[in-house]
Structures are given as C-alpha cells and as structure tokens.
C-alpha cells in the first residue's frame, strides 16, 4: 500500500476534528415537518418566560420544573415574614392588654356578688367551646414550634432532639385539626342565631362596651352575646374555616393545585393563624383576669345574677320572661 501523501493526511485530520462538531449540531437541529423525528433529535431544553423547565418522561410533570422564581418569595415569607407577623401581633396584643390592665385593672361586678346563679351555658355549649379552644391551643403551640424551631430550638436542643420534636408536633397538629373542626361546626350550630349583627351592637361599639369606664356598672344593654363577643365568634368561625380548608389541602399536596397554589395556601394558612392567635390572646385575657365572673360562664356554666344583669341585661330579661330565672328582684 502506498503511503498517504501530505495533502491527503491533512484532509483526513481536518475531517476527524470536524466530526464531533458536526454530530453535535445534528443533535440539536430541530427536524423539519417532513423529516422523521428520532430520539436523538428531541430538544432537551425548552426556555419559557415564567419558569425554567426541562422535559421528563414520567407522568408527574411537576418534576420537570427546575427553577421557580416565586419559590424564593415564598421561602422569604416562610422563614422571615411569617415569623415577624406572628411574633409581632402576639407581642403587640400582649403589650396593649398589659397597658389596659394597668389602667383599668380587673373589671369588677359593680354591685358585688348576689349569691344567686343564672345558667349561662349548658353542658353541650361548654363541650363545643372547650373542644374548639383546646384543639386550637394545641395547633397554635405545635405550629409555633414548626415555625420558630430552627432558629430558636435547634441551638438549645440540637438537631436530633428537634427532629423528634418537630415530627411529633406535626403529627399532633394534623390530628387535633379534626376535633377543632368538629368543635367549630358545633359552635356554629349552637350560637349562630345569637351572633347575628343587630342595631344594638353599634351602641355597644361606640361606648366600647363600657370597658374604659373606671366607675364601673355602665355597660350597654346586650343580648346573649355583645358586639365584642360576636366579633370573636365571627373571627374564630371564618378564620377557623379558612385555616381548616387550607390546612387539609396542604395535607394532600398537589391534589387540587400546583406548586404556586400550594405556596398561596401556606401564606393564607399562616396569616390566618397569626390573626387568630392574636384574637385568642385577647379572649383569654377577658375570660380570666380581665373580668370578674367571666370564666364562670364556661367553667361551671353558671354566672352570678348581678354579672348577668350588668353585662347582658336584655338576655337576663329574656331568661326571666321564659321562667329560667326565679323573679326574686327587679331586673332593673
């Protein structure tokens, strides 16, 4: 065989160097309408304006999303904004209540205890209230653990102990959501008709229920629930329903929504939790050290007659008219 001439050798070298480049160009070339499509000719990357995705052959198309810019905003909300909102609202409400207590002290029954009791809430009412209240407090506590655990508890407990605590908190959080919803539905059924807004509520609101009157004894006439209690009722009902709906949807991820929808659900759930925690702090204050005799309504279910006359005069008159209270003294 004759040896290759220099020119032939040069041409062969150029062909060998150009072959990989030509082959790669053929790989990414988009076939025309009439040309057959092979596996090697399918584009591996399709740019889009709002997200960065690839192509996958498995049924779950969500796994094709490589980068979601909105996820950075959600992470900022989850790790920074939500913590500020929950902590800020809780601290603000606590500071306001401390200042109010220093100004007003415990709101006493103006005429003192009469020694006569009036049934305020029966056993079913109290069961519905405490079921809702205890389950909400457990969810709030476990939710705070999950929200603040990394920055606050890991340095104190360590990663392994916090992992166990976080997993337990999540299980409790999900489990007690069921009695919370049951209690919520019960208080709606039991108290809805007594919490419909009415004209008399505006009088109560304008005078702030007489809460700022140090003289005491001056409270606008109210039915079974005054305007403040109605506000708590509707806040708990509407906020609780929103929390339950978003919470259950997050427990079945992507069942009805994509990644963006799941992030919106989390934002709504977190903000509703922050607002309800603030409302419940105020409710607990009024029901304990804030007002004399208030806890008895949900404790034993019976309140002192003077307390009923002072805070819910119209409701007390209705109880007299129906014969539920023995008429031993005038209602006025």
User: What is the pLDDT at residue 248?
Assistant: 95
User: What is the pLDDT at residue 267?
Assistant: 92
Calculate what percentage of the chain has a pLDDT beyond 90: 52
Calculate what percentage of the chain has a pLDDT beyond 70: 77
HSE-up of residue 134 (Cα within 13 Å, Cβ side): 11
Closest CA to 309 of 113, 19, 136: 113
pLDDT tens digits, one per residue of 233-273: 999 999 999 999 999 999 998 888 888 889 999 999 999 99
User: What is the pLDDT at residue 216?
Assistant: 64
60 part of a folded domain: no
Give whichever of 25-34, 37-46, 84-93, 207-216 has the largest mean pLDDT.
Answer: 84-93
75 part of a folded domain: no
State yes or no: pLDDT of 51 exceeds 60: no
pLDDT tens digits, one per residue of 65-87: 666 777 888 888 888 999 999 99
Report the chain's mean pLDDT, rounded to a whole number.
83
259 part of a folded domain: no
Q: Which residue has the higher pLDDT, 168 or 35?
A: 168
Closest CA to 139 of 272, 263, 295: 272
pLDDT tens digits, one per residue of 93-106: 999 999 999 998 99
User: What is the pLDDT at residue 215?
Assistant: 66
User: What is the pLDDT at residue 324?
Assistant: 76
Average pLDDT over residues 314-323: 89
- pTM score, two decimals? 0.76
Q: What is the CATH number of the domain that holds 310?
A: 1.20.950.20
82 part of a folded domain: no
User: What is the pLDDT at residue 73?
Assistant: 86
User: What is the pLDDT at residue 297?
Assistant: 92
pLDDT tens digits, one per residue of 159-172: 999 999 999 999 99
User: What is the pLDDT at residue 99?
Assistant: 95
Q: How many structural domains is the chain composed of?
A: 1
61 part of a folded domain: no
210 part of a folded domain: no
User: What is the pLDDT at residue 35?
Assistant: 54
State yes or no: pLDDT of 61 exceeds 60: yes
State yes or no: pLDDT of 8 exceeds 60: no
157 part of a folded domain: yes
Closest CA to 150 of 138, 136, 165, 137: 165
Domain, as residue range, for 161: 117-195+220-233+275-332
Average pLDDT over residues 37-64: 59
User: What is the pLDDT at residue 330?
Assistant: 47
141 part of a folded domain: yes
State yes or no: pLDDT of 48 exceeds 70: no
User: How far is the CA of 313 from the CAs of 93, 223, 295, 305, 318, in angstroms?
Assistant: 29, 7, 18, 10, 9
State yes or no: pLDDT of 26 exceeds 70: no
């Amino acid at each position: 065989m004759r040896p290759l001439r220099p020119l032939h050798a040069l041409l062969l070298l150029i062909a060998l160097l150009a072959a990989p480049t030509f082959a790669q160009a053929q790989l990414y070339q988009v076939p025309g309408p009439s040309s057959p499509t092979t596996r090697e000719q399918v584009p591996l990357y399709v740019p889009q304006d709002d997200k960065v995705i690839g192509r996958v052959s498995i049924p779950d198309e969500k796994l094709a999303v490589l980068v979601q810019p909105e996820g950075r905003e959600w992470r900022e909300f989850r790790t920074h904004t939500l913590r500020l909102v929950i902590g800020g609202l809780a601290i603000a409400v606590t500071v306001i209540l401390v200042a109010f207590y220093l100004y007003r002290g415990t709101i006493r029954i103006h005429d003192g205890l009469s020694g006569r009791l009036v049934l305020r809430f029966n056993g079913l009412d109290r069961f519905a209230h405490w079921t809702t209240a205890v389950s909400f407090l457990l969810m709030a506590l476990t939710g705070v653990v999950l929200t603040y655990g990394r920055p606050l508890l890991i340095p104190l407990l360590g990663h392994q102990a916090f992992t166990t605590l976080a997993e337990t908190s999540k299980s409790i959080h999900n489990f007690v959501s069921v009695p919370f919803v049951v209690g919520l539905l019960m208080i709606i059924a039991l108290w809805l008709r007594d919490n419909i807004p009415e004209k008399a509520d505006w009088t109560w609101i304008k005078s702030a229920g007489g809460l700022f009157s140090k003289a005491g004894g001056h409270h606008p006439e109210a039915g079974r629930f005054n305007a403040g209690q109605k506000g708590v009722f509707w806040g708990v009902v509407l906020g609780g329903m929103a929390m339950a709906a978003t919470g259950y949807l997050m427990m079945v991820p992507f069942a009805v929504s994509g990644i963006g929808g799941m992030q919106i659900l989390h934002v709504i759930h977190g903000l509703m939790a922050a607002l309800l925690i603030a409302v419940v702090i105020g409710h607990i204050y009024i029901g304990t050290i804030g007002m004399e005799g208030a806890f008895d309504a949900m404790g034993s279910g019976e309140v002192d007659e003077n307390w009923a006359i002072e805070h819910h005069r119209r409701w007390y008159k209705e109880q007299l008219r129906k014969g539920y209270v023995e008429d031993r003294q005038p209602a006025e």
